Structure 1
Amino acid sequence: MEPLRVVVCPDSFKGSLSASEVASAVAEGVLDVAPDAVVARLPMADGGEGTLDALLAVWGGEPETVATVDAIGRPAQARWVVSPDGRTAVVELAEASGLPRVADVPLQPLHASTRGTGDVARAALDAGVSEILLCLGGSASTDGGAGILTGLGARLLDAEGRDVPDGGEGLAAVASLDLAGLHPRAREVRWRLAVDVTNPLVGELGAAQVFGPQKGARDGVADFLDDALRHWAHVLEAETGRAVAELPGAGAAGGVPAGLVAVLDAETTPGAELVAEAVGLPAALADADLVITGEGSFDSQSVNGKVADGVARLAAASPRRPPVVVVAGQVLLPEAQARAAGIAAAFSIAPGPIELDDLVSRTGTRLRDLAAAVTSLTAASRG
C-alpha cells in the first residue's frame, strides 16, 4: 500500500501557537501513528495578521525591514518579504499600521493613518517587484487607504490647495487628488488585496460603523468617520471614475481597498485563497489522502472566507477530493453546517471541562494527540 499522504495546513491558534507551530505539532501526531506517511506542512493564514510569518515558514529566507512610522506617526520598523521567484512582495498592513503597534497609548480613531504601510510598499516598489500582495487585517485606522496613497507620493488637497492631515478626520476636507508625485511604478505593478470580509465602505455595515468601535470610534465618532468615508468615495469617483462606496470588501482594514482600487486598480481577493496559492496548497492537495487544518475557534465565521473554508473548497476541487478534518481550541459550529461546508469532521483539543490557561499551555501536546487519533482512523479506513 502506498504511504499515507497528509496535508497539514492550519491557521494560527491566536494567543497560543503560530500557524507554523500548529503545523509542526499536528505533523508530529501524524508521524507518531504513521511513520512512513508523507506529510506536507503548509502553515496558512487568512490574509490578516500572521500571514507574513506563515509565508516565511514555507518560503524560507529572511524578511526585509524598512524604517517607517506607526499609525500615529511614531518611528517604527516594519517587515516585508519577497517571494522565492523575486516577483511578488508581501506587505502586511499590521506590521506598520496595526493596532498592536499603538496598544501603549489611547486609541486615536480620527488621526490614525496607514501612511506607514505606504512607506513599506514604496520600498517594495523600489526593489523592482512586479506584484504587491497587501495583507489587510488588524488595522488601527479608518482612513480609506489615503495614508498608503500619501506614503506612495500622492497628495490629498483641500479646497484651498493645502494638504489635509493624515487620518479619517482629514478625509472630510479632501477636495481633490494630486497624483503627480505618485511613485512611478505604483500604477505599473499588480496590486492584490487580501481581505476576509465583504463589508462595503460606508453605511451600517461599513468600515466605520462595524469596525470603528474596536479602534476607539465611539460616541458619534463612527458616524463622523462614516460621513468622511462617504465624502472620500465621492472624491475618488470624481477623480478616477471608480465607484467604491458599495464595493464588496471595500470596508476592510478601515476602508483601505477603496483608495487602492480607485487609484491603483487593485484587486480584492479572499485572503485565504491568496495565501493558499502562495504556499502551493492546490498542488499539494492533488494526491492527498487526508487534509488537517485548524484554528483557535471553529465557528460560523470559519466557513465564511476563513482558512478552513478556503481549504475545504480547494480540497473539493482537487482530483482525489480528500477529507478535510478541523482541529480547534473550541468547536462551535454544528456538525450539519460543517458538513455542508465540506468539512468531514471537527474536533476540539479540550479533553473536557478545563481552564483556558491550562488548555493554552497544553495546546501543542493536545494537537499532537488529536492528530494521532485522526490519523489512526484514516489509516484503519484505508486498511
Structure 2
Amino acid sequence: MKVLIAIDSFKGSLSSLKASEAITKGIKEVDPNMETVALPLADGGEGTVEALVAATNGSIITTTVTGPLGGSVEANYGILGNQNTAVIEVAEACGLPLVPISHRNPAITTTYGVGELISDAVNKGCRDFIIGLGGSATNDAGVGMLQALGYRFLDEDYQEIGYGGIELMKLGHIDSSKVRPDLKESSFRIACDVHNPLYGPNGAAYVFGPQKGASSEMVEELDQGLKHFAAIVHKETGINFQHIAGAGAAGGLGAAFAGFLNSNMQSGIDLVLEVIRLAEQLKDVDLVITGEGKLDGQTSMGKAPVGVAAKASEQGIPVIALAGGTTKEAEVLNTLGVTSYFSIVNGPVSLEEAMRPENAYYNLKTSASQLLRLIKAFY
C-alpha cells in the first residue's frame, strides 16, 4: 500500500512539514514498511515558500529589504530546485505583522521591499517567479515595488513621488527608461484567489483598507488615489486596470504585476499543485491524506484540500481529510473528492489547548495511526 500525504499547515500550530511528519510517524507505527510520500502543501498564502522549497529540494534565501514603514527588515524567499524559479510571499516584505497595530497606516506603507526581493532573485539568476499575494499592510498599488525595479513615478513637475497610497494622487507621469532590462526576460506567475477590482466599492481600499488601519475618511482618500493612478496608467500605457480581476489584491499589487510585469494570475492551489507535480506524484498511490487546520465552508472555495481531492478523484484514489476542527458546512467536501473527513480532537478541550503544537502533533499522529489500523483490517 502506498500513501501520499499532501496536507496544508495547521495555522498557529503546525507547518505543512510538521503536519506531514506527524502523519508519516502515525502510519509507520502501524506498518514500518508502508510506502509513504510527503508533499508539503500550501494554497499560495503563508507557507508557500516553505512548501515549494521542500517539495523541489530548493533553498531558502534570507536578505535585508525595506519594510512597509521604510525601515529595514529581514525577509525570506525561496529558490526552487531548478535554480531558475524564485518563490516570494509579498507579506515577507510588506506584511501586516511587520507593522505594530498602533502604527498601521496604509496611507504611508510601501511595497518597496517586494521589488528588492525580486531584484535579489534576478541577481542570483532567477527568471521565473511565483508570487504569493496576500497579507499586505499596503495600499500603494504596487508603486513601491515598481520603484525598486527602476520605474519612476513623477508628479506634474517631474519630481518623484514618495511612498504610500496617499502619494498616488500626486502622480502625473511614468518613466520606464531606467527599469531593469533583465525583467523583460522574466516571467511571473501570481497566486491570487481574490477577484477584487483596483478601486470602487469592492476595490482594494474599501474592502481591505480598514483591516490595515484605514479610517473611513482615509479609505475614501486611498480609493481616489487608486482611481487616479489607474487613470494615469491608462493615459500613458493604454492599460485598463479596472478590467483586470484581482487588480485590487494586496493593496493593488495585483494591478502592478498584471500591468507592468506581464504576469499570469492563477488560483493559488492550482499553481502550487502544478509546481509540485501532484498529478504525476499520484501514480500508483492507493490512498491520499490531506487536510488543514479547519474544514468548513471556506475549504470548498479553492483551499488546498479540495485541490488535492479533485486531482486524486480524477484517478479514482480515495482521500481522507484531517483537521483540527470541522463544521456542518464541510459536508460538501464529500461531493468534491473527499471520501471522508475527521477531526483530530477527541474530546472537549479549549482552542488554546488544541492548538498547542505538541498537542496538535500528537493528535494528528494518533489519528493517522488509528485510521490506518482500520484500513489495514480491510485492505
TM range (shorter): over 0.9
CA distance in 1, matches of 2:60, 2:228: 38
Comparing 192-201 with 361-370, greater Cα deviation is found at 192-201
CA distance in 1, matches of 2:163, 2:91: 17
CA distance in 2, matches of 1:335, 1:130: 40
CA distance in 2, matches of 1:219, 1:104: 17
Contact 1:202 1:246 in 2 (8 A): no
Contact 1:134 1:193 in 2 (8 A): yes
Amino acid at match of 2:237: T
User: TM-score w.r.t. structure 2 length?
Assistant: 0.94
CA deviations over 1:68-105 (Å, ceiling 9, x no partner):
11111101222222111112111221111111222375
Q: CA deviation at 1:33?
A: 2.2
Q: CA deviation at 1:291?
A: 1.2
**1:327 and 2:327 matched:** no
Contact 1:81 1:89 in 2 (8 A): yes
CA distance in 1, matches of 2:145, 2:156: 21
Identify which of 162, 165, 169 aligns with 1:168.
Answer: 165
CA distance in 2, matches of 1:166, 1:48: 25
Q: CA deviation at 1:335?
A: 4.8
Amino acid at match of 1:339: N
Aligned residue number for residue 47 of structure 1: 44
CA distance in 2, matches of 1:131, 1:41: 25
**1:13 and 2:10 matched:** yes
Q: CA deviation at 1:153?
A: 0.8
Identify unmatched segments of 5+ residues in structure 2: none
CA distance in 1, matches of 2:187, 2:59: 23
**1:84 and 2:81 matched:** yes
Comparing 306-315 with 175-184, greater Cα deviation is found at 306-315
Aligned residue number for residue 298 of structure 1: 295
Identify which of 23, 29, 38 aligns with 2:26.
Answer: 29
Query: Cα 1:253–1:335, aligned 2, differ >3 Å: closer, same or farther?
Result: closer
Q: Secondary structure at the match of 1:186?
A: helix
Contact 2:306 2:333 in 1 (8 A): no
Contact 1:240 1:263 in 2 (8 A): no
**1:270 and 2:267 matched:** yes
CA distance in 2, matches of 1:214, 1:238: 31
Q: CA deviation at 1:17?
A: 0.9
CA distance in 2, matches of 1:20, 1:210: 33
**1:214 and 2:211 matched:** yes
CA deviations over 1:327-378 (Å, ceiling 9, x no partner):
1111125354112222222211221221112212210011011112332343
Contact 1:72 1:111 in 2 (8 A): yes
Aligned residue number for residue 99 of structure 2: 102
Query: Cα 1:285–1:156, aligned 2, differ >3 Å: closer, same or farther?
Result: same
Contact 1:152 1:182 in 2 (8 A): yes
Query: Cα 1:287–1:171, aligned 2, differ >3 Å: closer, same or farther?
Result: farther
Q: Secondary structure at the match of 1:300?
A: coil
CA deviations over 1:286-318 (Å, ceiling 9, x no partner):
22211111111212221112211221222233x
Contact 1:197 1:252 in 2 (8 A): yes
Comparing 193-202 with 180-189, greater Cα deviation is found at 193-202
Comparing 142-151 with 308-317, greater Cα deviation is found at 308-317
Contact 2:318 2:339 in 1 (8 A): yes
- Identity over aligned pairs, percent: 37
User: Aligned runs of 1:143-292 on 2, under 5 Å?
Assistant: 143-292=140-289
Q: Secondary structure at the match of 2:19?
A: helix
CA distance in 2, matches of 1:255, 1:310: 26
Q: CA deviation at 1:264?
A: 1.3
Amino acid at match of 1:56: V
Q: CA deviation at 1:61?
A: 4.9
Contact 2:42 2:269 in 1 (8 A): yes
Comparing 14-23 with 158-167, greater Cα deviation is found at 158-167
**1:141 and 2:174 matched:** no
User: TM-score w.r.t. structure 1 length?
Assistant: 0.93
CA distance in 1, matches of 2:101, 2:301: 32
Amino acid at match of 1:182: V
Aligned residue number for residue 337 of structure 2: 342
Amino acid at match of 1:348: S
Contact 1:298 1:333 in 2 (8 A): no
Query: Cα 1:147–1:9, aligned 2, differ >3 Å: closer, same or farther?
Result: same
Identify unmatched segments of 5+ residues in structure 1: none
